[in-house]
Amino acid sequence: MKKRVVYSAIQPSGIMTLGNYIGAVKNWHELQANDNNSCIFALADLHTITVRQDPDALRRNTKSFLALLLAAGIDPSSSVVYIQSHVHEHAELAWLLNCYTYVGEMNRMTQFKDKSAKHSDNINMGLMDYPVLMAADILLYDSDVVPVGVDQMQHLEIARDIAGRFNNSYGETFVVPTGQLTKTGAKIMSLQDPTAKMSKSDPNPNAVISVLDSADDIARKIKRAVTDSGSEIVYDVENKPGVSNLLTILASAEGATIEDEVKRFKGKMYGHLKVACAEAVVEMLRPFRERYDALIADEGALLAFARDGAAKAEQIAARTLARAKDKIGFVL
Ligand code: TRP
């Protein structure tokens, strides 16, 4: 039986937050463990330059994110793991797809509007074209399922529209992918404003846990996390966003359910929850951190994994690109 192709990517910029780890990367690890899936995971470095990147930082972050994925259990012998810019077919298919995408569609994208407002001095064509490059990423691999956070669902819809439009004009060429929302319980919020998502670009370092933070820093940040009025530990996102966020983090870190955690903390105080939460996160990240340190120390081996992954990715991508070029009428 043909396996389901699962495709996802993450931008190797800034830090990997606890939110990225619990919300995305741990989920990828579970998808990889399912024998029916054939998983492909990319570091979307081409996407990062839609906002200015310092060259040394981009190089450093890309290697670091690769080590982070491997440390999180993404296994290059069972999944394809690669750096997007190593596979030139992405940029090439993005150009082709550009000619089947309307300016009006891109103009309406929520992320484009948000980022344009945030970087009003650099509203470059790449920023507007971001969803088309993402569509190229996905369509190159005949992806069936694309796990994404809710903020990327609109881009996934556009990828489906572009694939469908191309297929309508030229006959079946691309697989129309299905988006899969990462589990809602796994959305990790800022520690300082639990009504906003934990974001790597948050200027307040106390709001965000990096998966590479020291145990002391993690404990300190969780201890200082904003909680809610009252003293009862209940899961109520509306009225107790801070406590609910800590419960989500704790349950994810321990692989338990939120209901179990609520039962366990009945009659206890916020302080108890914070201590348990900090311990659980530190314990979850300890072995991860050890693997990361070993991986990042051997750059030669790390880059060999990346080259290997790119070669596997390119085999698939080149075939899909040739199929599309043929349909369009390019002389092959
Ligand atoms: N835009 C995605 C994000 O920032 C990353 C990404 C790039 C992606 N290409 C993709 C995700 C293809 C899924 C599929 O989160």
Q: Does 113 participate in catalysis according to the annotation?
A: no
Q: How far, in Å, is the centroid of ligand 1 from the Cα of 134?
A: 6
Q: What is the mean pLDDT of the chain?
A: 96
At 191-212, the pLDDT tens digits run: 999 999 999 889 999 999 999 9
At 47-59, the pLDDT tens digits run: 999 999 999 999 9
What confidence score (pLDDT) does residue 136 get? 99
Minimal-distance CA residue to ligand 1 atom 11: 9
Minimal-distance CA residue to ligand 1 atom 15: 10
How many Cα atoms occupy the beta-carbon half-sphere of 84 within 13 Å?
29
Catalytic residue, chosen from 2, 63, 113, 115, is: 115
* 11-43 burial: b if 16+ Cβ within 10 Å, else e: bbbbbbbbbbbbbbbbbbbebbeeeebbbbbbb
Percent of the chain predicted with pLDDT > 90: 94
What are the residue ranges spanned by the domains of the chain?
A: 4-186+299-328, 205-294
185 has pLDDT over 60: no
| Identical fold between 4-186+299-328 and 205-294 | no
Strands in 80-83's sheet, in edge-to-edge order, are 80-83, 37-43, 4-10, 145-148, 178-181
150 band by pLDDT with thresholds 50, 70 and 90 = confident
At 2-30, the pLDDT tens digits run: 999 999 999 999 999 999 998 889 899 99
183 has pLDDT over 90: no
Q: Does 312 participate in catalysis according to the annotation?
A: no
d(CA 234, CA 224): 19
At 213-243, the pLDDT tens digits run: 999 999 999 999 999 999 999 999 999 999 9
Q: How far, in Å, is the centroid of ligand 1 from the Cα of 24?
A: 11
What Å distances lie between residue 148 and 120, 122, 237, 255, 310, CA to CA? 26, 26, 22, 21, 22
Averaged over 130-159, what is the pLDDT? 96
d(CA 300, CA 157): 38
The CATH code that applies to domain 4-186+299-328 is 3.40.50.620
In sequence order, what DSSP letters do the residues of 62-121 get, joined into one string?
HHHHHHHHHHTT--TTTSEEEEGGG-THHHHHHHHHHTTS-HHHHHT-HHHHHHHHHTTT
d(CA 323, CA 332): 10
Q: Does 327 participate in catalysis according to the annotation?
A: no
What confidence score (pLDDT) does residue 37 get? 98
Indicate the SS3 state at residue 169: helix
Catalytic residue, chosen from 2, 118, 183, 200, is: 200
In words, the CATH class of domain 205-294 is: mainly alpha
> Cα–Cα–Cα angle for 328, 97, 309, nearest 5°?
100
